[in-house]
Chains A and B, each alone.
Chain A
Amino acid sequence: MGLRIIPSQTNIAFTKLRNVAAAISLAAMIGSIAAFFVLGLNFGIDFRGGVTVEVGPAEGQTFTDSDLTIVREAVGGLGLGDVRVQNIGGVAGAPDGIVTFIEQQPLPENPAGGETLTEDERTRAAELQQSAVAAQVQDVLRTTLGEGISFRRVDVVGPTVSGELVQAGVAALVVAIGMMLVYIWFRFEWQFSLGAILALVHDVVLTIGIFSITQLEFTLSIIAALLTIVGYSMNDTVVVFDRIRENLRKFKKKPLAEVIDLSINQTLARTLMTSITTLLALVSLFVFGGEVLRGFSFALIWGVLIGTYSSIFIASPVLLRTGVKRDWSKEGSASSEASAKGHLAP
């Protein structure tokens, strides 16, 4: 016998915990929604529009803390609205780089009494303004930090694109959850579908909640992480559902709660095993994958943890509340009679 995280045979009455789990999850979801409305998500420029410029020191030099202050003052003096300047990576006192964020420049107001601009013209003006800001900030960084600095990243997202990215992101999530709903409905029964979707919504809400609380930057790749979480959580849920369906066919007279508990216990070793291997890969990505992937891998780690929880404690117990079809055999009743007595079907 190899390494085992849990005993080979467990017999945990998961369904008995369903009310406790439901209460905890409900509280967590309310907390997440509250955090979202009170604190809000720290949207990156993908969704909010704006300019990000990341610079590294010149060859053979390092930045110091005073560089940060100088840049902050110089960029702040440009009058470009909300500006954030941060150190990135490295150790205290000698950061790897300095990142400057400048918020989306507002659409120009129509001058009083002057020629009125159409919405398109105003947007276009804002786009041009945005590009000009990027050039301006790069100039300021060159003059304050020296010509030799390397521009590691310059991102400019205008109002048109940021609006579209928000729409595409929300659409992708809705479509993903919708397709999962249809798929499960098609492969199983509507009760299964309901359970799976509740679990998915639970996972997505809690992920948005943690991003609201931690104020980690919410970027385009977090949307990709959310979609992956949806896929992963669904994957876990489906494996349990598949076993429930199989056991419903096998044990026709067993109370539903027992069938569900049996199925969850039977698949528990697999559920945990897969979660652990996935987490091993993700933690490696979080620790070694660099600054750019940190938020993304954090979201996925969180998603795998709650996805595993939700497929055990949320998705399956829903079946108990809604009830399910018990007679899955469309073939003759003779065979169902035999398996009803608990014989293992080959």
Chain B
Amino acid sequence: MLQFNRWQIGAILTLVALGLYFATPNFFAPGKTPPGFTDTRITLGLDLQGGSYLLLEVDTDQVLQDRIESLQADVRRTLRTADGGRIAFGRLGLAENRLTVPITNESDYDRALKELRALSRPLGGLGGLGGAGRDYSVKASDGQTVQIELTEEAQKFYADSAVSDSIEVIRRRIDSMGTTEPSIQRQGINRLVVQVPGDSDSEGLKSVINRTGRLSFHMVDQTADPNAPVPPRRLRLPLVEQPGAELTIFETADVTGDMVTDASASPNSDGGGFQVNFAFDSRGSRRFREVTTENVGRSFAIVLDNEIISAPRIISPITGGSGRITGDFPPAEAAELAVLIRSGALPAELTTIEQRTVGADLGADSVRAGTIALIIGFLAVVVYIVLTYGRFGIYADIALIANVLLIAGALSLLGATLTLPGIAGIVLTIGMAVDANVLIFERIREEIQSGKTPVAAVEAGYNHAKSAIFDANLTTLIAAAIMFYLGAGPVRGFAVTLGIGVITSVFTAFVVTRVLAGRYVLGQRPKTLTL
């Protein structure tokens, strides 16, 4: 089929024009897109614009372990205050996701089972998530011990919320650092990908992300002997202000970080350095007022991530619902502390398992080098094709240009991220894109040699090359799909452009050059074809 009606030709031209239309905004600065154009653009990958990529692992095992550990207290209380009298029990056995409760008297067993079963609750609160299952399964075993296990659903649920809560906390932290457009995505079960473009300070970023940020206020136990072993229900923590010094504090926190509504850094109002100001919610204000009223003259400790950052003496009751931490901080550290306090604590520990940071100048160098390689590769191919196939070579080159426009348009429309390997994919595609045309042209030459007229030869060339083109390009497409699904980072960027390039190149070879070749042989009826 060499004849195309005007509708078909119109559709082809429209498609190529759309490629140009969607690709155009890339040539203008963001926000400066000329009127009439949609703001579709290719996002440059971090390797091209500079930035930091962090892969973090959320320690969900610890979250589950914390759950089971906190269950111990509930179990003890339940058994002590059981209906019909206290139930005697032995030492609780703590294993992974499981608590073993030995019941001393066999006669209490059924009662214990009943009481402990009442501990199990629906996940996500009552009426929260219907059908999500229960948090614990309480099982009888051998008439002497009761097994309490986190259910499969609960393990999934708690791990899941630890990860999504972490995302929220990290987002708040990065946002309050004033960084532009961070992207935080979940990957797999317990991983997060944090991508922050721009010439960011990766170490600063990491220190803000990785700190748990658990803030609490405890009274200092001034009666404790610093050299004696730590008394029960007390903690001995290092004091940041004086390296080497330690203070003994009460284990129970009077006020916790979740009662803080705001925090900010400002120059110290009496003394050097910076201070961190914070405000409590109503519950926190009340607790803070009570504690400071009862303990005038004693010290309380402000604890962040198991370190005492400050232990001021209470001079007078603090009733205003706000306070400050003075510790002669450098401005940057005060600001970082404020960010940590404001954004809340991470629900679980995070470990950075992969980090890649590219400076903005290396990114710019890569863009320049990639573009030069693209242009020179393109020109070399274009010239070579014309030298080889003459008039038909020009057709192939027009198809190649249409191809590049379509790739650029598709990438812009998808909002795809262009990486350096992605540019390599485009360069490679340019080299390979002409393959479909080469197959067709070589076939046409053979058909001419076998004595066909130009029109018949062109027609037969397209028809006979079809299956080879189809098979050949499908193999490349398979390779691209595998790279996309199994590959990491740079490999995926390459797979996307290679895959799109294969599809557009088949289209342009089959349709664009066929229209041009068809118009030529049918319109001018050449006696012989030179190619």
Residues in A lying within 8 Å of B, measured CB to CB? 1-4, 8-9, 54, 56, 120, 124, 127-128, 131, 134-135, 138, 150-158, 160-161, 165, 168, 171-172, 175-176, 179-180, 183, 187, 220-221, 223-224, 227-228, 230-232, 234-236, 238-239, 241-243, 246, 266-267, 269-270, 273-274, 276-285, 287-290, 292-293, 296-297, 300, 344, 346
Question: Would you call B227 an interface residue if the criterion is a C-beta within 8 Å of the partner chain's C-beta atoms?
Answer: no
Residues of B within 8 A of A8 (CB): 445, 449
For residues 361 through 415 of chain B, which have their beta carbon under 8 Å from a beta carbon of chain A?
Answer: 361-362, 365-366, 369-370, 372-374, 376-378, 380-381, 384-390, 393
B487 touches A172 (CB 8 A): yes
A151 to B490, CA, bound (A): 20
A interface, over-half SS:
helix
Residues of B within 8 A of A241 (CB): 471
Question: Would you call B530 an interface residue if the criterion is a C-beta within 8 Å of the partner chain's C-beta atoms?
Answer: yes
Q: Across the two chains, which residue of chain A brings its CB closest to B203?
A: A135
B432 touches A274 (CB 8 A): yes
Q: Which residue of B59, B442, B460, B480 has the most chain A CB atoms within 10 A of its CB atom?
A: B442
For residues 301 through 336 of chain B, which have their beta carbon under 8 Å from a beta carbon of chain A?
Answer: none
Distance between A59 CB and nearest chain B CB, rounded to angstroms: 10
Distance between B530 CB and nearest chain A CB, rounded to angstroms: 6
Q: Which residue of A158, A284, A287 has the most chain B CB atoms within 10 A of its CB atom?
A: A284
Question: Would you call B354 an interface residue if the criterion is a C-beta within 8 Å of the partner chain's C-beta atoms?
Answer: yes
Question: Would you call B253 an interface residue if the criterion is a C-beta within 8 Å of the partner chain's C-beta atoms?
Answer: no
Q: Across the two chains, which residue of chain A brings its CB closest to B349?
A: A124
A224 touches B478 (CB 8 A): no
A321 to B495, CA, bound (A): 36
Q: Which residue of B352, B373, B480 has the most chain A CB atoms within 10 A of its CB atom?
A: B373
B434 touches A269 (CB 8 A): no
Bitwise, B468-484 to A at CB < 8 A (1) or not (0) is: 10011111101110110
Residues of A within 8 A of B423 (CB): 289
Question: Would you call B446 an interface residue if the criterion is a C-beta within 8 Å of the partner chain's C-beta atoms?
Answer: yes
Question: Would you call B467 an interface residue if the criterion is a C-beta within 8 Å of the partner chain's C-beta atoms?
Answer: yes
Residues of B within 8 A of A297 (CB): 424
Question: Would you call B450 an interface residue if the criterion is a C-beta within 8 Å of the partner chain's C-beta atoms?
Answer: yes
User: Number of B residues contacting the other chain (C-beta, 8 Å)?
Assistant: 83
A238 touches B471 (CB 8 A): yes
A-B contact pairs, 29 of them (CB 8 A): A2-B390, A2-B393, A120-B61, A124-B59, A124-B351, A152-B359, A153-B356, A154-B356, A158-B351, A160-B353, A168-B486, A179-B478, A179-B482, A183-B474, A220-B490, A223-B491, A228-B428, A231-B479, A232-B432, A234-B472, A269-B442, A270-B435, A274-B435, A280-B381, A280-B384, A281-B381, A282-B377, A282-B428, A284-B427
Q: Which of B365, B387, B435, B494 contacts A224 (CB 8 A)?
A: B494
A296 to B428, CA, bound (A): 11
Q: Which residue of A3, A127, A179 has the most chain B CB atoms within 10 A of its CB atom?
A: A3
Q: Across the two chains, which residue of chain A brings its CB closest to B467?
A: A242
Q: Across the two chains, which residue of chain A brings its CB closest to B354?
A: A161
B475 touches A238 (CB 8 A): yes
Residues of B within 8 A of A232 (CB): 432, 476
Q: Which of A120, A183, A243 contacts B478 (CB 8 A)?
A: A183
B476 touches A2 (CB 8 A): no
Residues of A within 8 A of B61 (CB): 120
A239 to B476, CA, bound (A): 13
B471 touches A296 (CB 8 A): no
Residues of B within 8 A of A234 (CB): 472, 475-476, 479
A307 to B374, CA, bound (A): 23
Q: Across the two chains, which residue of chain A brings its CB closest to B57?
A: A160
Q: Which residue of A120, A152, A297 has the most chain B CB atoms within 10 A of its CB atom?
A: A152
Residues of A within 8 A of B472 (CB): 234-236, 238-239, 242
